[in-house]
Structure 1
Amino acid sequence: MATQNAAETGSDDLPLTLEDVRAAAARIEGSVVRTPTLHSITLSKITGAEIWLKFENQQFTAAYKERGALNALLHLTDEQRQRGVIAASAGNHSQGLSYHGTRLGVPVTIVMPRTTPTVKVMQTEAVGGKVVLEGETFDEANAHARKLEKELGLTFIHPFDDPLVAAGQGTVALELFTDVPEPLDCIVVPIGGGGLISGMGTVAKAQEPPVEVIGVEARLFPSSYNAYKGLELPCGGDTLAEGIAVKEPGKFTQPVIDRVVDDILLVDEPKLEEAVSLLLQIEKTVVEGAGAAGLAAILAHKDRFKGKKIGLVLCGGNIDTRLLANVLLRDLARTGRLARLRITLQDRPGALFKVMSEFDAHNVNIIEIYHHRIFTNLPAKGLITDIECEARDSAQLERLVSGLRGKGYEVTPVELAK
């Protein structure tokens, strides 16, 4: 569990200090975007808290990872710069390291699993990184990166488990606390390997008075949550927040987390999807699942955060466009604006026309119609029709369903996962 009092004193035995973060800020100043911090009036109304957003998705590579990568690169000796650096990453660290390495004239090699989506390989190569595909999993790619590190004399730069990287990530908090006009009560920060929350938490606990620090993980990957609370919940699965899908907490970062974090919350996939959708619809900003985890936690725990002044970091915006489209459509379905209704009909002329007349009467738009005649448990003259439709809101949809059932139709809404 966290020992807040030790962190508040700024004790010298802390593995990461405010001075480390300030030094990183001076080092990287002018080479990364000083992203805006803005108050969200609408999200504040929705959550019941006062929400301030730090737009790290506006970095050149659309993620905060540039900060830590650059801080580590600027500590290299001349010999290390000439030989180059290496990392294992299929995410934002690969792009941040490649971009700033190329800018500084440092060769960058990134080892990715063979299963990495082509778009991520292309994005990394586009900013100057040399990509090596090896292994089927991240662990296998990481092992190969460590092998190349020794064979080629390269310097390994870890995506999170490195004090220089964590110090660089902490510069997000320096800017956040400077830009918000009144003191914050709390910051809510996503946790993957822990580099971001280690740095930001260190800054938060050095404020006067110290600021509450709440970490957030996807429920499918509760690695730091387990370490923090002494539990053994399973880690694994397909999460929208792939940027924080880490199975093992960092050896450097977890002790820092234990000292500066007040609590860790877990969020389910539907809340992550809702948060991504809200940020696009309300703030007109594209945020990946990991970057929306902080807002997802507040949406899931409104009573806990009600009335508090909260800083949220939108830590990344690299999300596949097809996935983003799915998230937005699924959110419309959950809020009752899109639906698929499964209706049992008799296979005879005019049957579908009569059903469509009910949709017309309730002013509900039909998007797609699917007939199922063969693979059903109905008699040969029966059929199932799935109708995808668009309503103004859930109330309008409920009136349609009631109207259909009132006419004797068997209607079953096809539900999404809750």
Structure 2
Amino acid sequence: MSRNYLEKILRARVYDVARETPLEFIPRLSARLNTNIWLKREDMQSVFSFKLRGAYNKIYNLSEKQKQKGVIAASAGNHAQGVALAGKRLGVPALIVMPTTTPPIKVQTVRNLGARIILHGDSYDDAYTHARSLVKEKGMVFVHPFDDPDVIAGQGTVAMEVLRQHEDPVEAIFIPVGGGGLIGGMAAYIKRVRPEIRVIGVEPEDTPTLQRALKANRRVSLKQIGLFADGVAVRQIGKETFKLAQQYVDDVVLVTTDEICAAIKDIYDDTRSVAEPAGALGIAGIKKYLQKKRGKHGNLIAILSGANINFDRLRHVSERAELGEQREALIAVEIPERPGSFLSFCRVLGKRNITEFNYRYHDERRAHVFCGIELSGGAEERDSIISRLKQKEFGITDLTDNETAKLHIRYMVGGHAPQVKNERLFRFVFPERPGALLDFLAGLSRGWNISLFHYRNHGAAYGRVLVGVQLSGTQVAEFRAYLKELGYRYHEETENPAYRLFASAGD
């Protein structure tokens, strides 16, 4: 089988549309992990993904009669762009069935490449079923996204380039896995030419399509799949690609969403490029591999398979990257409900960056604070911080690995506090720097009781804090005089309708 695919890959027609992408050494991550790490930049293709290789090779090899009738595909992303571009270059009519939920920017991108589009169903499975029915109705050729020998061979040209670009010894190559077209084609080539190189697939933990199949020794259809890494969100590995994986894939590594987000940040730090979640799987896999197999390692190569990420997803990526890298700890802290408690807590933390600080008055005895702390020493530093806080008799609950806390509770700290009297609400802006929050709280330690506090570090030059303070009588004038002395920009928000509706205190 490998000889057959070796010949098909060597003869694959891809360079009419594809470019030979660079294999780049990434110095920052290599230095941090003390291992030489290389990145195959398939995000630099014209459609920002490797998918055009297989699509073009498939359509190029059709008979003239088949080309005249046209091709059809089902896709919500990279495969659709590859088929559309191939059809345009070869003068072959292309029809793409996309789910109705496909973001408009992706629909327009495919349309700009000259393909006709049908929006059908709410999921890829709906679009796929409809596309297969249209094949019989219209007599068009279906271009499968992965389970086709010509598609597999086209994707395998990535391996051909990698081994030509890196002639020195390679320990392992880490390849994202969805339906298996990329890893099937690459593995068939690698094991024929350089059999000593380990081929390692990388999948999200919530979509272990290949890992489950290899474990069961048969193709398994997943009941549920994750959607974050949408480029590999496939329920079942392909028939042909599974045969190749059984024969040539050495191992499969599973990674979490947070680890994928951390890998996207790692890639950005080294290349200033933003990978899509599926595209960052290779780097996430390398990091997981090195955690489990400590010691000296040879050259490791990751395939950056694509960069078609929705812009609005970057918010989530940024939020979770620090957790995936274990650079942020999330803790719940119980402190006495009295003036100065916040300051005492922050002094224990010292000059560490506080990434988040949320609090709302609960009762007169104790306060619960949701706090994020920037880490430089990973889990060991987190454990040390928690130990120090417990020694100071603060009640601590570690929420770093609590999915509900990360996704929901952090945004829900607050609400009405009818038992709080004479509350005034102020919004502050101050220069963001290590220790800035501690300095800010130190200024408030004049006996005024803080009844609401919300702060989140968004990586901007300025920190933004919302503070509720209980002030009565002459304290209002004293507090205003203090604010003038403080010198930070502020706005009073006591009459803000959002506050009145959702977070106000008693009269």
Q: TM over 0.5, yes or no?
A: yes
Counterpart of 2:251 in structure 1 is 263
Residue from 319, 331, 346 that aligns with 2:321: 331
> Which stretch shows the higher mean deviation, 67-76 or 178-187?
178-187
Residue from 39, 42, 45 that aligns with 1:53: 39
Tell whether the 8 Å contact from 2:28 to 2:270 is kept in structure 1 after alignment: yes
How many angstroms does 1:22 deviate by? 0.7
How many angstroms does 1:254 deviate by? 0.6
Please state whether the residue corresponding to 1:54 is helix, strand or coil: strand
Residue from 93, 103, 111 that aligns with 1:125: 111
**CA distance in structure 1 between the aligned counterparts of 2:200 and 2:151, rounded to whole angstroms:** 20
Please state whether the residue corresponding to 1:213 is helix, strand or coil: strand
The correspondence of residues 373-384 of structure 1 with structure 2, limited to 5 A, is 375-376=415-416, 379-381=419-421
Distance change (3 Å), C-alpha of 1:300 and 1:403: farther
**CA distance in structure 2 between the aligned counterparts of 1:337 and 1:73, rounded to whole angstroms:** 48
How many angstroms does 1:277 deviate by? 1.1
Please state whether the residue corresponding to 1:171 is helix, strand or coil: helix
Distance change (3 Å), C-alpha of 1:289 and 1:332: same
**CA distance in structure 1 between the aligned counterparts of 2:3 and 2:235, rounded to whole angstroms:** 22
Tell whether the 8 Å contact from 1:345 to 1:409 is kept in structure 2 after alignment: no
**CA distance in structure 1 between the aligned counterparts of 2:334 and 2:431, rounded to whole angstroms:** 16
Q: Kindly indicate whether residue 180 of structure 2 is the aligned counterpart of residue 194 of structure 1.
A: yes
Q: Kindly indicate whether residue 353 of structure 2 is the aligned counterpart of residue 313 of structure 1.
A: no
Tell me which structure has the larger Cα radius of gyration.
2
Tell whether the 8 Å contact from 2:72 to 2:131 is kept in structure 1 after alignment: yes
Tell whether the 8 Å contact from 1:362 to 1:400 is kept in structure 2 after alignment: no
The correspondence of residues 100-179 of structure 1 with structure 2, limited to 5 A, is 100-179=86-165
**CA distance in structure 1 between the aligned counterparts of 2:65 and 2:52, rounded to whole angstroms:** 22
Distance change (3 Å), C-alpha of 1:189 and 1:388: farther
**CA distance in structure 1 between the aligned counterparts of 2:451 and 2:421, rounded to whole angstroms:** 16
Residue from 275, 290, 294 that aligns with 2:263: 275
Counterpart of 1:6 in structure 2 is none
How many angstroms does 1:311 deviate by? 1.5
How many angstroms does 1:368 deviate by? 10
**CA distance in structure 2 between the aligned counterparts of 1:389 and 1:172, rounded to whole angstroms:** 49
Runs of 5+ unmatched residues, structure 1: 1-12
Distance change (3 Å), C-alpha of 1:215 and 1:336: closer
Tell whether the 8 Å contact from 1:216 to 1:264 is kept in structure 2 after alignment: yes
Per the normalisation by structure 2, the TM-score is: 0.67
Tell whether the 8 Å contact from 1:339 to 1:389 is kept in structure 2 after alignment: no
How many angstroms does 1:81 deviate by? 1.1
Counterpart of 2:289 in structure 1 is 301
Distance change (3 Å), C-alpha of 1:336 and 1:400: farther
Distance change (3 Å), C-alpha of 1:228 and 1:274: same
Counterpart of 2:83 in structure 1 is 97
Tell whether the 8 Å contact from 1:28 to 1:67 is kept in structure 2 after alignment: yes
Distance change (3 Å), C-alpha of 1:181 and 1:152: same
Higher relative contact order (CA 8 A, sep 6+): 1
**CA distance in structure 2 between the aligned counterparts of 1:389 and 1:72, rounded to whole angstroms:** 58
Per the normalisation by structure 1, the TM-score is: 0.81
Summarize deviations over 1:38-59 as a string: whole Å, max 9, x none: 1112121223321111100000
Counterpart of 2:235 in structure 1 is 247
**CA distance in structure 2 between the aligned counterparts of 1:311 and 1:160, rounded to whole angstroms:** 22
How many angstroms does 1:376 deviate by? 5.0
Residue from 219, 222, 230 that aligns with 2:216: 230
> Which stretch shows the higher mean deviation, 362-371 or 15-24?
362-371
**CA distance in structure 2 between the aligned counterparts of 1:238 and 1:413, rounded to whole angstroms:** 32
Q: Residue 307 of structure 1 aligns to which amino acid in structure 2?
A: H
Distance change (3 Å), C-alpha of 1:209 and 1:103: closer
Distance change (3 Å), C-alpha of 1:382 and 1:277: farther
**CA distance in structure 1 between the aligned counterparts of 2:77 and 2:105, rounded to whole angstroms:** 11
Counterpart of 1:292 in structure 2 is 280
**CA distance in structure 2 between the aligned counterparts of 1:135 and 1:178, rounded to whole angstroms:** 43
Distance change (3 Å), C-alpha of 1:354 and 1:295: closer
Counterpart of 2:501 in structure 1 is none
Tell whether the 8 Å contact from 1:64 to 1:316 is kept in structure 2 after alignment: yes
Counterpart of 2:502 in structure 1 is none
Q: Kindly indicate whether residue 74 of structure 2 is the aligned counterpart of residue 88 of structure 1.
A: yes
How many angstroms does 1:207 deviate by? 2.3
Please state whether the residue corresponding to 2:61 is helix, strand or coil: coil
How many angstroms does 1:317 deviate by? 0.5
> Which stretch shows the higher mean deviation, 255-264 or 33-42?
33-42
Counterpart of 1:214 in structure 2 is 200
**CA distance in structure 2 between the aligned counterparts of 1:167 and 1:388, rounded to whole angstroms:** 56
**CA distance in structure 2 between the aligned counterparts of 1:39 and 1:313, rounded to whole angstroms:** 12
Tell whether the 8 Å contact from 1:267 to 1:300 is kept in structure 2 after alignment: yes
Q: Residue 304 of structure 2 aligns to which amino acid in structure 1?
A: L
Tell whether the 8 Å contact from 1:372 to 1:385 is kept in structure 2 after alignment: no
Q: Kindly indicate whether residue 17 of structure 2 is the aligned counterpart of residue 31 of structure 1.
A: yes
Tell whether the 8 Å contact from 1:52 to 1:311 is kept in structure 2 after alignment: yes
How many angstroms does 1:325 deviate by? 3.6
Tell whether the 8 Å contact from 1:365 to 1:390 is kept in structure 2 after alignment: no
**CA distance in structure 2 between the aligned counterparts of 1:44 and 1:152, rounded to whole angstroms:** 52
Please state whether the residue corresponding to 1:188 is helix, strand or coil: strand
Distance change (3 Å), C-alpha of 1:297 and 1:382: farther
Tell whether the 8 Å contact from 2:360 to 2:452 is kept in structure 1 after alignment: no
Summarize deviations over 1:246-304 as a string: whole Å, max 9, x none: 11110111111100000111111000000011111222112100010011112223142
Tell whether the 8 Å contact from 1:188 to 1:312 is kept in structure 2 after alignment: yes
Give the CA RMSD over aligned residues.
4.3
Distance change (3 Å), C-alpha of 1:198 and 1:366: closer
**CA distance in structure 2 between the aligned counterparts of 1:363 and 1:215, rounded to whole angstroms:** 38
Counterpart of 2:380 in structure 1 is none
Counterpart of 1:9 in structure 2 is none
Please state whether the residue corresponding to 1:158 is helix, strand or coil: coil
Distance change (3 Å), C-alpha of 1:343 and 1:142: same
Counterpart of 1:70 in structure 2 is 56
Aligned residues: 394
**CA distance in structure 1 between the aligned counterparts of 2:351 and 2:290, rounded to whole angstroms:** 35
Summarize deviations over 1:3-39 as a string: whole Å, max 9, x none: xxxxxxxxxx459521111111xx2234311111111
Distance change (3 Å), C-alpha of 1:392 and 1:252: farther
Q: Residue 174 of structure 1 aligns to which amino acid in structure 2?
A: M
Tell whether the 8 Å contact from 1:111 to 1:144 is kept in structure 2 after alignment: yes
